[in-house]
Every structure is written in C-alpha cells, then in structure tokens.
A and B are shown apart, each in its own frame.
Chain A
Amino acid sequence: DTGVSQNPRHKITKRGQNVTFRCDPISEHNRLYWYRQTLGQGPEFLTYFQNEAQLEKSRLLSDRFSAERPKGSFSTLEIQRTEQGDSAMYLCASSLSGLDRFPLGNGELFFGEGSRLTVL
C-alpha cells in the first residue's frame, strides 16, 4: 500500500499521560499536514511541514503538542499531559508542492485513515 499510513489507529489513555502518533506520508511527498477532527465537525488544521521544516502552526496547537519531521519523511505528533478535550481523530495528510493548479495538479491532500485518541 503506497498511501498515507498512520499508527496507532486507536489509542486509549488516561488523563495526564503522554501519547505519540506516527505518520508515514506518500514517499515522494514533501509536504505533510496534521489535522484534528472531533465528532460531527470538519477537520481543523494543526500544523504543516515542508520537508523537515515546520512552516506553520495553528493556535490550536498548545504547548502540550509537539510535532516533528526529523528527516523530511515520517512525522510524529506528541501530546503531553493529555486532557479529555484532546479526544479526537488526528489526521495526517501529505502532498507534493507545486501541484496546486491545473495542468500540474489540483492541490489534493492525501489523507491517512487517522489515529483516534480517547482520553479517559
């Protein structure tokens, strides 16, 4: 399978614990994104990387959240001291820069299946 891969798919943790999610993008994609989605809502942007550089972070990304993409390939999203409000689906997506407009591309984001976090 050459799509975006996320692990683990499900994580149940107790409040105050730390959790880490991993995303493996499509191999040739240089952009990687993290979004968060709660029940009944659309995805909300958290952060994105171009290669290994984190170029933008949402104000939703509090100090307890940290994302890395050390070699411009896979990425990790760590949440420290989890709170019940962190319960959500964490979605990773990837894309290749320069493909936003016809005829080169359509700006499509390729999403993984997500990592669902439940904080008890």
Chain B
Amino acid sequence: EDQVTQSPEALRLQEGESSSLNCSYTVSGLRGLFWYRQDPGKGPEFLFTLYSAGEEKEKERLKATLTKKESFLHITAPKPEDSATYLCAVPPQGTGFQKLVFGTGTRLLVSP
C-alpha cells in the first residue's frame, strides 16, 4: 500500500532557528510529490511540486528537496508566521494527480 510518513509530528522552534521536516514515501515510480501548508481551520495551501530526485524548489524561507525515498522541507530563519501544519502528498502508484495520499503532517510552532 502506498504510504507517506512525516516526521517529526510536531516541532517547536525559536524565531531564526533553522530546521528540516521529513517526508518519506513508499510509492514506486513516483510521478510527483507535493508540499502543502495548512493553517488551523483552513484548507491546505499549495507550496511546491517536485517531480524527480535531485530537484529543489524554493519559496521565501522554505526549500524543498527530493530523493528517491524522501523529501525534506528546509525552513531557514523561520518567523512566527511560518507556524502551521506542513503536509506532504503523493499520487498513488499508477495514477495521475487526480487523487493524492497525504501524510499526517508536521505541526510547526515558531516562537518569537
């Protein structure tokens, strides 16, 4: 069964303290990996799509990378407004992007 595992479940950082979130997956023939951000009580908001191992994408303080088994979301010098749950998702084997399997997310809290 296709699985997505995210770690840690929760992460507390001081403002400016850089760290990384991990997403490991078991899908064969990965066609793409997505990162979304979700604020409490809201729907997920798209961050990145990574298509192949070695690919990197950046947006402000966030940088996503992809290997053949996992993806990392690096957060550099985070600010309190980066506090959210970060979700990783992949399409199941043999499917397009019509449905996604999400991980349980990493809840990030950045303190001033």
Contacts and interface: CB of A to CB of B under 8 A. Distances in A.
B43 A42 contact: no
Interface in A30-45: 31, 33, 40-45
A48 to B, nearest CB: 5
Contacts, number: 61
Nearest to A9: B41
Interface residues of B, number: 24
B105 interface: yes
Judged by DSSP, the binding face of B is loop
A101 B51 CA distance: 8
A109 B100 contact: yes
A38 to B, nearest CB: 10
Nearest to B48: A106
B99 A48 contact: yes
A83 interface: no
Contacts of A101: 51
Interface of A: 4, 31, 33, 40-45, 48, 55-56, 58, 91, 93, 95, 100-102, 106-114, 116
Interface of B: 4, 32, 34, 41-46, 48-49, 51, 87, 89, 96-105
